[in-house]
Amino acid sequence: MHRGARQGSRGRIAVVSIRFDKLGVVIALIACYGAFSAPFAIFRANRIVAGEPRSIIEALPQPLGAVLLAVLVAAGLIALFRTPLVARLGAAAVTLASLALLIGVAGSHLTPEGNTFARISPASGFWLLIFAFTLLLADVLTRLQLSPVGRVVVLGIGAAAIWLLLASGQWDSLSILKEYANRADSFWNEARRHVELALGSLFAATLVGLPLGILCHRVQALRDGVLNVLNIIQTIPSIALFGILIAPLGWVAANVPGASVLGIRGIGAAPAFVALFLYSLLPVVANTVVGLAGVPRAANDAARGMGMTGWQRLSGVEFPLAFPVILTGIRIVLVQNIGLATIAALIGGGGFGVFVFQGVGQTAMDLVLLGAVPTVALAFAAAIILDAVVETVATRKSTEVAAA
């Protein structure tokens, strides 16, 4: 029936002989609005005054403005009609690259000579165009059904392109990079702190969570209790948990000899680390339990039949079979922690959140972006890479099982 219906509509469209791509219509509409009606860049005399909008033609030196509009119209048309995937991929890549290059050009073009206070930032039109063609790119990549390695390669290409643009100084005239230039040192410090918090708590949670999960799997009585407690911890809002931990850690710092020497204090990284660790436990423990419970009974019985001890069974049969599920839990934790680590800044724990909350406090949105953009990029990259790893491990396992 489905096939029949689709065939029917295809037949009807063939009569009109123009074939629209439904998503393309959406993309073309957004792109049209973004290119012609919304401002491309915002000019501000200094970092906190209200900005003045600039359209593509105003923001770019001629003939670049016209060229960009031509590229956008062409790419929009390619998206609008049913075109081969390669053409769509090309259109998306070329458009995104031109936008990335030209926003930098707009920055230098709009900044008056020798003025260090003026700020140029991308405006809604630019972001809408980026959104529209990222949508096109995402659609093409989804339809291409890339292998895990392929996805990581695409991510690598994207990262390399952005790094090149940053290194070339092309974007230096943009406001977010001016904020960066003012804080280059502290930026990398906070970045390191952010990654340390996210990865360190993940590492600790894995170290504790795996044995705890195995224990929960083996000891039925323990399972419900442990998982319930971890579930409740997950429902406590992060900012509240961070705050609540200040009290006990402050007490520990004051009353346990040597604790403060180790850096344990009520305020700062310690409560943030502990909170992230506690949040990370549930996905790790729960996925370990689910993974181990999913080990086929036959495999376990066969292992017993061959005379394996409990430990040999765990390390040789159960754990390898449960590994993909456990890895999925670790992926969830990492992406979640990268996001939550931003909140650590509220209790003096550092991380990219420092810029976000400073920016919010000073109503300096460029500073907010300086914190938010790297956080999102980090979480996004972590998700893609770990998804690829999980998929690789899972398919390898299933082919091994099929072969056995």
Q: Which residue number, 92 or 214, has a Cβ lying nearer to other proteins?
A: 92
Minimum Å gap between C-beta 379 and other proteins is: 4
Provide the minimum distance between the beta carbon of 143 and other proteins in the complex, in angstroms, as a whole number.
7
CB-wise, 31 or 343, nearer to other proteins? 343
In this chain, which stretch among 21-29, 30-38, 59-67, 72-80 interacts with other proteins, using CB under 8 A?
21-29
DSSP state of 44: E
- Residue 28 is a binding residue for other proteins (CB under 8 A): no
Question: Residue 4 interacts with other proteins (CB under 8 A)?
Answer: yes
Enclosing H/E stretch for 149: helix 148-168
Q: Does 33 bind other proteins (CB under 8 A)?
A: no
Interface positions, 60-89, toward other proteins (CB under 8 A): none
Q: Is residue 142 a contact point for other proteins (CB under 8 A)?
A: yes
Minimum Å gap between C-beta 102 and other proteins is 21
Q: Is 297 in the site for other proteins (CB under 8 A)?
A: no
335 contacts other proteins (rule: CB under 8 A): yes
Name residue, tokens 């195995």. 214
Cα 381 from Cα 258, distance rounded (Å): 39
3-state secondary structure of 113: coil
Is residue 382 involved in binding other proteins (CB under 8 A)?
Answer: yes
* Alpha-helix residue ranges (DSSP H) falling in 314-364: 319-340, 353-361
- For other proteins, the binding residue among 216, 246, 264, 284 (CB under 8 A) is 246
Residue type, 151: R
From the list 170-178, 233-241, 305-313, 389-397, the region that binds other proteins by CB under 8 A is 233-241
- Phi first, then psi, for residue 54 (nearest 5°) are -130, 130
Count interface residues toward other proteins (CB under 8 A): 57
Nearest-5° angle of CA 272, CA 278, CA 279?
90
Amino acid, single-letter form, for residue 147 = S
Sheet holding 41-44, edge to edge: 52-54, 41-44, 119-122
* Angle (CA) 384 387 389, round 5°: 110
Cβ closer to other proteins: 52 or 308?
A: 52
- If DSSP codes are grouped into helix, strand and coil, which group holds residue 266? coil
Chain-centroid distance, C-alpha 288: 24
Q: Per-residue contact track with other proteins, 338 to 377, x per CB under 8 A?
A: xxx-xx--xx-----x--xx-xx--x-x--xx-xx--xx-
Contacts with 294 (C-beta within 8 Å, 6 or more apart), sequence order = 321, 322, 325
Report yes or no: 337 and 198 within 8 Å, Cβ to Cβ.
yes
Residue numbers of the site for other proteins (CB under 8 A)?
Answer: 1-7, 21-23, 124, 135, 138-139, 141-143, 232, 234-241, 243-244, 246-247, 250, 335, 338-340, 342-343, 346-347, 353, 356-357, 359-360, 363, 365, 368-369, 371-372, 375-376, 379-380, 382-383, 387
